[in-house]
């Protein structure tokens, strides 16, 4: 049998990404900026929740400076929505060039272009996908995963890595729970099976239920950052 040289490119790519992710963290730490990586499937309500969250944070502290990086394969719809909030909130659209998630290099380039030096909070709304974003470290300080009620309580079983890497899981659209066969106890059990340490909050951006618990969580992270 002929000798065949095998090169583990997959591992090399992730090692390179981790180095850049460490650089992103160092930049944010030096600037006093706390960074969130918000991940979820398409239609889970990421942008709607972010809009409601930002409004609440501004009420708590009108002086807070927030930046939002909207990652999509194309279009600028979400960044335009965030921009309507005005004030100390600003947004930038990041096109991933067909990639199904942001990586650390994309995040670094966006941060340099965005100029985040004065920001208290930097939010990356990642591409809607429950696979790719979980695999790549962007340099964020906190990984937020959304799971909407219409998606079902078994999502943590089907997409284990996404829930394994989460720091906090937000169960969204709970105002629709009466219309779906969604088991609160089952979803908590399924999340805990993948990640016993993740925080879990049930909320609705539409009715406001659970939003105070979520914004208090964020404020506590900003204070300790």
Q: How many domains in the chain?
A: 1
> Is 154 part of any domain?
yes
Contact between 161 and 107 (Cβ < 8 Å): no
Residue 10 reports pLDDT greater than 50? yes
> Is 50 part of any domain?
yes
> Is 8 part of any domain?
no
> Is 133 part of any domain?
yes
Which residues neighbour 2 within 8 Å (Cβ) at sequence distance 6 or greater?
Answer: none
Model confidence pLDDT, tens digit, residues 21-48: 999 999 999 999 999 999 999 889 998 9
> Is 2 part of any domain?
no
Residue 124 domain boundaries: 16-224
> Is 6 part of any domain?
no
Query: What is the domain-level CATH number for residue 140?
Result: 3.40.50.300
Q: What is the pLDDT of residue 158?
A: 96
Model confidence pLDDT, tens digit, residues 106-160: 999 989 988 889 999 999 999 888 999 999 999 999 999 999 999 999 999 999 9
pTM of the model: 0.89
Model confidence pLDDT, tens digit, residues 72-106: 756 666 777 887 777 789 888 887 777 788 899 99
> Is 217 part of any domain?
yes
> Is 171 part of any domain?
yes
Burial of 220: CB neighbours in 10 Å, binned 0-12, 13-18, 19+: exposed
Q: What is the pLDDT of residue 100?
A: 83
């Amino acid at each position: 049998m002929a000798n065949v040289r095998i090169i583990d490119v997959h591992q090399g790519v992730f090692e390179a990404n981790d180095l850049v992710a460490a650089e992103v963290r160092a930049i944010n730490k030096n600037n006093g900026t706390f960074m969130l990586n918000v991940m979820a499937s398409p239609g889970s309500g990421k942008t709607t929740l972010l809009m409601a969250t930002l409004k609440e944070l501004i009420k708590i502290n009108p002086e807070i400076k927030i930046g939002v990086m909207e990652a999509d394969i194309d279009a600028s719809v979400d960044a335009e929505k965030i921009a309507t909030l005005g004030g100390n909130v600003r947004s930038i659209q990041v096109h991933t060039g067909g990639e199904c998630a942001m990586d650390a290099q994309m995040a670094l380039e966006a941060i340099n272009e965005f100029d985040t030096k004065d920001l208290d909070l930097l939010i990356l709304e990642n591409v809607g996908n429950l696979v790719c974003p979980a695999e790549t470290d962007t340099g964020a300080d906190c990984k937020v995963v959304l799971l909407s009620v219409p998606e079902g309580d078994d999502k943590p079983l089907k997409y284990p890595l996404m829930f394994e890497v989460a720091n906090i899981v937000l169960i969204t659209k709970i105002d629709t729970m009466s219309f779906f066969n969604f088991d609160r106890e089952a979803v908590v059990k399924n999340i805990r099976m993948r990640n016993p340490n993740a925080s879990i909050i049930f909320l609705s951006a539409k009715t406001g239920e659970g939003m105070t618990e979520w914004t208090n969580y964020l404020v506590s992270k900003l204070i300790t950052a």
